[in-house]
Amino acid sequence: MGRAPGADPMLSVGITSADWMHMGDELARIEHAGADYLHVDVMDGCFCPQLTVGPQVIAALKTSLRKDIHLMIEEPLEKVRAFVDAGASVLTFHVEATSHPHRVLQSLPPTVTRGVALNPGTPVSAIEPLVDEAELVLVLAVNPGWGGQGFLPGTQRRLEAAREIIERSGRDVLLGVDGGVTRENVGAVARMGVDLIVVLEAGADVEADRLCDELLGARRIATYGVGREGLMMKALCMRLMHLGLDAHVAGDMTTPHLGAGDILFVSAGPGEFSTVNALLGVARDAGARTVVVTAQPDGRAPRLADVVIHLRAQTMADDRGGASVLPMGSLYEAAMLIFFDIVSILLRERTGQTMEAMRGRHTNLE
């Protein structure tokens, strides 16, 4: 379990609220959404009120995702081996659940990422004796076992305190947060300096919320894309203007100078275009924030950007010949169209714009 410095937080997607009668479909959906981990909450009805699943069910989950097992159980020492055997890649237990947390950590094999979790009422200092053994500190933003709770307001302060302890240790320990993360706040949580976020939803919704956070936080927005991607970026820019945002198409004579507080939002479906790479460099040097939407997150353009929005769709870079539904084997532009519609709807909801106000911003030359 690793994370490059400055990278976006990893997502561990929970299945507690999944449709267990159609778990195969649910797992496929989470995999296709690009989650980093599959998060499984194990509750024993004693440490917290609910009773969920055990190692047999976890072992039966057939997925290509790494299994992130969160034990909310009393006295985990004698029980962790069964969860390791069930396929745990990450195993996290609560410091409140045992008098011997070091022994629990030491009982886990090196193939498993060893995590410790903290309830909201537990002092953050409780992790200090454990950071020499732990590889993950998971801060809960809700009290475990009760549904419908909001993200506790003191969580950011607790995350900052945990980060200070980790940095003083000099070890490469990951910091995660679990509970109360929604479409509305996932972008803000991602900016709290965490390495891992546990969510109960994944895919386009999360990416759309991240993009909405970036766009709404910008003073000024410039969009750019080439070819058919450029048409989609222009269409989005038009929607942003209708929503009352200060949005422009890069390359137009009326596009203002970008600087600090502004965003350059570009598309690089195959991972890079020379013009996209050049514009990213210009914007970065001017102090603007850069966002790339792409189907190839390992490409050069995403590596140049501050934020990467990953749309999982085939581009010409993936085309190896044969039959294709669309010309030149690219589905990426169609995915952009749908994704940008989702973004536009979310932005309208979050800004409170009325349809009348948006229509009032149409021009007679559109």
pLDDT at 120 over 90: yes
Burial of 123: CB neighbours in 10 Å, binned 0-12, 13-18, 19+: exposed
pLDDT tens digits for range 130-147: 999 999 999 999 998 776
pLDDT at 325 over 50: no
pLDDT over 90 percentage in the chain: 65
pLDDT of residue 310: 84
Half-sphere exposure of 91 (CA within 13 A, CB side): 26
**Mean pLDDT lowest among 17-31, 98-112, 148-162:** 17-31
pLDDT tens digits for range 254-288: 999 999 999 999 999 999 999 999 999 999 999 99
Catalytic positions, please?
A: 41, 178
Are the C-beta atoms of 267 and 229 separated by less than 8 Å? yes
pLDDT of residue 298: 85
pLDDT of residue 148: 59
Considering the domain delimited by 211-360, tell me its CATH architecture. Answer: 3-Layer(aba) Sandwich (3.40)
User: And the tokens for 275?
Assistant: 């013009």
pLDDT of residue 201: 54
Considering the domain delimited by 10-201, tell me its CATH architecture. Answer: Alpha-Beta Barrel (3.20)
| 3-state per-residue secondary structure call for the chain | CCCCCCCCCEEEEECCCCCHHHHHHHHHHHHHHCCCEEEEEEEECCCCCCECCCHHHHHHCCCCCEEEEEEECCCHHHCHHHHHHCCEEEEEEEHHHCCCHHHHHHHCCCCCEEEEEECCCCCHHHHHHHCCCCCEEEEECCCCCCCCCCCCCCHHHHHHHHHHHHHHHCCCCEEEEECCCCCCCHHHHHCCCCCEEEECCCCHHHHHHHHHHHHHCCCCEEEECCHHHHHHHHHHHHHHHHCCCCEEECCCCCCCCCCCCCEEEEECCCCCCHHHHHHHHHHHHCCCEEEEEECCCCCHHHHHCCEEEECCCCCHHHCCCCCCCCHHHCCHHHHHHHHHHHHHHHHHHHHCCCHHHHHHCCCCCC
**How close are the terminal C-alpha atoms of the chain, in Å?**
49
pLDDT of residue 202: 47
Q: Predicted confidence band at 125 (pLDDT cuts at 50, 70, 90)?
A: very high
Q: Predicted confidence band at 194 (pLDDT cuts at 50, 70, 90)?
A: very high
The residue-averaged pLDDT of 311-332 equals 62
Please state the domain extents for the chain: 10-201, 211-360
pLDDT at 358 over 80: yes
